[in-house]
Amino acid sequence: MTAPQQIVIVGGGLAGAKTAEALRTQGFAGRLTLLAAENHLPYERPPLSKGYLAGQASFDEATVHPSQWYRDNDIDLRLGIRATAIDAAAHQVRLADGSSIGYEKLVLATGALPRRLPLPGADADGVHYLRTREDADAIRAHFGASKRLAIIGGGWIGLEVAAAARTADTQVTIFEAAPLPLLGVLGPELAQVFADLHTAHGVELRLGARIDAITSTDGAATGVRLADGSTIDADAVVIGVGVAPDVRLAELAGLQVDNGVLVDASLRSSDPDIYAVGDIANHDHPVLGRRVRVEHWATALNQPATAAAALLGQQATYTELPYFFSDQYELGMEYLGHAPNGSYDQLVVRGDLAKREFVAFWLTDSRIIAAMNVNVWDVLDQIKPLIVGGTLIDTDLLADPDVSYATL
Ligand code: FAD
């Protein structure tokens, strides 16, 4: 295969910026265009629910590269420009201003969008989702000692917003439909750890909550009404009920789409000239032996190097295990692997759940499929070979903090 001369990347988030970087690092010298719908330099989103939201970190710290870097690397970064259609047969991307750009190879990195809740009152002022810098700024404006924040959804985003809001002394109520926050991701034992953490920090948890409406006066949110008729007053409402991959362009391009863009092990879509990376990529994972679409920072950070290599004609497959992290108050955690609901038959804990200092392991058929370290650090590199190698585990030894991972 001859090397392409013109590559277009659609989506100026972490995955898009890292793809541009990887292409240049790997020697691509042709024309490189990065289309970014947002009017900001590509940035990382994790700070939007942590340090940036809490007002403790600047936006510049979250940008992937300063603007000079794009100039130095001859990357045609177009901010505030949305791609509106892809003509795959003609190898053209149409832009919102009516112009078009041709490509030899295209990378889709359009990310994900918050799932909307079709609740009465959800369009009132003071109701927010959290995906962009503007969203974070709008939510932070409701923080403060005399303010009350209602958060709908006890997932990672809801809990992190709660932690940032409490840090600013805001009163916080979380409404979660399930019996515990994070229940679907972590299972009951570990979900309880996060419930206890937030209760200890003064968050009111309304579990098993059925919400009827967001109440409002003169178009501004005033709280939440539950199915039992009771109301809880709030100055603002944050809805965090998950995201959906933004596959609008992929569908217009005629790509195979099913919970994201279907890509092979090398991140190539059903069109050999189009690749997908980050939150939108539903990847045929060679190590896990199944498809996964991972909505986390590390995937957006790491997949681009593989996509770039494959685009430039090398044999490359993405083999990294899914990884993510979260920070809430004094709790920091990392999670490696993939243990969706119903996929494991055993949970083993090494350490102390009550002190929130432990490593948890999800196993199936006595093999670790995922691990989470909470306030314990530098262990994932030792645990990773056990997951990748499918090592048969003695669970008594696994639970014993005096047994080294190498021994296992
Ligand atoms: P995105 O970051 O969504 O970027 C896609 C970009 O493409 C957007 O800027 C979008 O405007 C642009 N775009 C879309 N369509 C077009 C178009 N047609 N034309 C031009 N541009 C377009 N992950 C963790 O592992 N740990 C965390 O602690 C964590 N915290 C998070 C906190 C928040 C508040 C959020 C929102 C996410 C968090 N994540 C976290 C998830 C992580 O940020 C995402 O997985 C990551 O942003 C995905 O990167 P991406 O580049 O694939 O997509």
Measured by CA distance, the residue closest to atom 8 of ligand 1 is: 13
The model's confidence at residue 340, banded by pLDDT at 50, 70 and 90, is: confident
Ligand 1: list residues with CB < 6 Å: 10-16, 35-38, 45-46, 48-49, 82-83, 109-112, 130-131, 157, 246, 249, 278-279, 295-298, 300, 324-326
Domain stop point among 239, 271, 293: 239
**CATH number, domain containing residue 370:** 3.30.390.30
Query: What is the pTM assigned to this prediction?
Result: 0.97
Beta bridge partners of 348: 361
Domain stop point among 263, 284, 311: 311
pLDDT at 242: 96
User: Are 64 and 207 members of one domain?
Assistant: no
Domain stop point among 239, 265, 291: 239
What is the DSSP code (8-state) at residue 192?
Answer: H
169, part of any domain: yes
User: Are 68 and 105 members of one domain?
Assistant: yes
Q: Where are the beta strands (DSSP E) in 293-345?
A: 323-328, 331-337
- Per-residue pLDDT tens digits for 49-75: 999 999 999 999 999 999 999 999 999
Residue 2 has pLDDT above 90, yes or no: no
Measured by CA distance, the residue closest to atom 15 of ligand 1 is: 110
On whether the CB atoms of residues 354 and 348 are closer than 8 A, the answer is no
Which of 1-10, 117-126, 200-209, 224-233 is least confident?
Answer: 1-10
Compute the average pLDDT of residues 199-204. Answer: 98
One DSSP character per residue, 351-404 reads EETTTTEEEEEEEETTEEEEEEEES--S-HHHHHHHHHTT-B--HHHHH-TTS-
For all residues of the chain together, what is the average pLDDT?
Answer: 96
User: Are 279 and 234 members of one domain?
Assistant: no
Compute the average pLDDT of residues 262-285. Answer: 98
- Per-residue pLDDT tens digits for 140-152: 999 999 999 999 9
User: Are 354 and 390 members of one domain?
Assistant: yes
User: Are 107 and 254 members of one domain?
Assistant: yes
122, part of any domain: no
324, part of any domain: no
Compute the average pLDDT of residues 265-271. Answer: 98
User: Are 71 and 97 members of one domain?
Assistant: yes
Residues 6+ apart with CB under 8 A from 43: 13, 14, 59, 62, 63, 64, 133
Q: Which domain holds residue 30?
A: 6-113+243-311
Measured by CA distance, the residue closest to atom 12 of ligand 1 is: 11
291, part of any domain: yes
Residue 342 has pLDDT above 90, yes or no: no
407, part of any domain: no
62, part of any domain: yes
The model's confidence at residue 1, banded by pLDDT at 50, 70 and 90, is: low
User: Are 133 and 232 members of one domain?
Assistant: yes
CA–centroid distance, residue 35 to ligand 1 (Å): 14
Count up the domains in the chain and report the number.
3
User: Are 167 and 223 members of one domain?
Assistant: yes
- Per-residue pLDDT tens digits for 279-338: 999 999 999 899 999 999 999 999 999 999 999 999 999 999 999 999 999 999 999 999
User: Are 222 and 254 members of one domain?
Assistant: no
CA–centroid distance, residue 1 to ligand 1 (Å): 32
- Per-residue pLDDT tens digits for 68-125: 999 999 999 999 999 999 999 999 999 999 999 999 999 999 999 999 999 999 999 9
User: Are 298 and 227 members of one domain?
Assistant: no
321, part of any domain: no
Residue 369 has pLDDT above 70, yes or no: yes
Q: With the C-alpha atoms ordered 134, 22, 51, 374, is the resulting torsion angle positive or negative? A: positive
User: Are 161 and 208 members of one domain?
Assistant: yes
- H helix intervals, 26-143: 67-72, 133-140
121, part of any domain: no
On whether the CB atoms of residues 11 and 106 are closer than 8 A, the answer is no
User: Are 88 and 132 members of one domain?
Assistant: no
**CATH number, domain containing residue 64:** 3.50.50.60
Q: How far apart are CA 251 and CA 3, in angstroms?
A: 27
